[in-house]
Chain A
Amino acid sequence: MKSLIIGEVSNGSLSSGTLEIITKAKEDNLDFVVVTIGSEENPTIGNELFENTYFQLNPNELSLSVVADKLSEIIKENSVELVLASSTYVGRDISGFLSVDLNSSPVSNVINFTIDESLLTTTNSIDGGESEYLTNVTSEVKILIIRPKSFEAADLELNESFTIATVEKNELTLEVNDIFVEEKTGPQLEDSKIVISAGRGMVEVDNLKYVQELADKLNAAVGGTRAIVDAGWMPYSQQVGQTGKTVKPDVYIACGISGATQHQVGMKDSKYIIAINKDEEAPIFQIADLGVVGDTLSIIPKLVENL
């Protein structure tokens, strides 16, 4: 199936989401090219396996709609049947724009897909991962927005061979000011072997220091539920769940998290889940390998002390 992967640049390389989609494209022997979107200079995003065109954005302009115009042309000219994007800010914006141009509704939050002859079936995860929802996509062009961590990232030797496409301004381009880059210190959520997440059960923002102390001891990344991010206890970049990040660490420690479906979607595939919660009936215990019914605020300091 003739396919186009919408890639993204992260730290001078292809983003993990892009590498995950490439794995799937290779496995399924898709006839694919990559277009990569980013604003970094001279990234290392080429590989002999595929053609890659780099749409280099001016960081001071909001111009994804211009990129979408060009991609729509490429898709039509080359009779591309399948468009694969990551479920990221850029991936969602671009897929949304393209879907109108191509009159093909995207399938969002896809965790897997199969192609049998020309029939494409997508899988979505529902009920907090306890069920899979299967959909046949019937339009000529199919746009899939893939959830992160759905596939293993491809281990590729990347080089500097790619084509650069220029992105001009058009009447929809907006000027961007005050670009702020959040400082990232310590282990990052997506690639840390241990993740410790906090929920409402931490009671108040000051108590997050216990979680941080535990994380420091275990060299772990810290995450949180949507509830505490909305409450302003943690930046959005640390949110784990449906509308935040998906993590698959070796160990996930859920502290004071009840385990709403929306949270489970982002962490249920962790290899070993430890849950600490006062409420014996909390749904998090259904997916925990080790559940401890008790007061998070008394257990974590003891853990820190004895580790």
Chain B
Amino acid sequence: MKIAVCAKQIPDPANTVTYDGGTIVRPDEQVLDDTDRYGIEVALQLKEKFDAEVTVISMGKLGTQKGIQQALQMGADKALVIEDTELQNSNSLMTSNVLSGLAKIAEADIVIFGTESSDGYSGVVPQQVSRYLGLPCISYVKGIDINEETVLTRQTITGSEKVVMPTQCVISVTASGVEPRYPNFKDIMAAKSKEVEQIELSSIDLTAEQNQEFKEIKSISSDKTGEKHTDEGDAFNLIIEKLKEIKAI
């Protein structure tokens, strides 16, 4: 079994996102998107059971590759990465097209994603990749049970449902079902010698095109004139008064 798992490097979420001409400004040092840790965890659980090879796939500004290293430290075997000026500000379809190409190069049977990145939030990349690869898509997986067969639990609008994982498919994992592992010192050292192969855009069959032109960012004048009080033990009265005032009670 070969698994490709997506890892996106994003600006540290502790900092405010800034834009330059509609594009998110990306510092040299970006971190692994927390959302991806859940997908990586699922990939590693499959690796442990089936002795699978896990390849991290990633697209975007490489910089110091901190985020890629973080993915490898968790226990992935190697990484395929791609950075190209033509891919700057890619829409979701271009991104999926390129990631599908990387999954093919990794000869992946199973391709795993988080459900949406924490900076772009398009939330459609796993579905698009499944379509590009012609594989079944099992989206919003919130649980995995690996026995003779692997059973995936999907989140649905009304609850959940279970699907037996086929030998080839694309999976998106929600940020809840599994507990991502933390690497120890040995894992961190071992990651340094793992192979990170940079793929040229020319080896990808890119057919998706840019279809979104940035127009402008408009700031909305907030006319909120809220009031703020420090609780001196009787703030509950203030809340009750306000609720009465606005006729909520």
Contact = CB atoms under 8 A, between A and B. Distances in A.
Interface of A: 10, 62, 64-65, 68, 87-90, 92-93, 95-97, 99-101, 103-109, 121, 126-127, 129-139, 142, 145, 172-182, 193-194, 218, 226, 229-230, 232, 236, 242-243, 250-251, 261-262, 271-274, 276, 280, 285-295, 298-299, 302-303, 306-307
Nearest to B95: A105
Tier of interface size on chain B: 35 or more
A74 B39 CA distance: 35
B142 A131 contact: no
Given A132-B220, A133-B217, A177 B124 contact: no
B105 interface: no
A138 B212 contact: yes
Contacts of B214: 133-135
Most buried by A among B127, B156, B216, B218: B127
B192 interface: no
Given A175-B164, A250-B246, A108 B176 contact: no
Main secondary structure of the interface of B (DSSP, over half): mixed
Interface string B205-247: 0011111111111111010101111110001111110110010
Interface stretch (B59-67, B80-88, B129-137): B129-137
Contacts of A262: 118
B132 A100 contact: yes
A108 B92 contact: yes
B238 A290 contact: yes
Nearest to A87: B123
A99 B215 contact: no
A170 B126 CA distance: 20
10 contacts: A62-B136, A97-B127, A105-B212, A107-B212, A127-B17, A127-B219, A232-B176, A272-B242, A290-B226, A295-B231
A6 B220 CA distance: 30
Contact of A294 (B125, B128, B131, B235): B235
A130 B222 contact: yes
Contact of A101 (B130, B131, B213): B131
Contacts of A93: 127, 137, 139
A105 B208 contact: yes
Given A108-B123, A177-B161, A288-B226, A131 B219 contact: yes
Nearest to A63: B136
Contacts of B242: 272, 274, 289-290
A62 B138 contact: yes
Contacts of A104: 93, 211
Given A177-B163, A251-B243, A89 B157 contact: yes
B27 interface: no
A148 B143 CA distance: 26
B198 to A, nearest CB: 25
A213 to B, nearest CB: 13
A230 B217 contact: no
Contact of A306 (B161, B166, B210, B237): B237
A104 B213 CA distance: 13
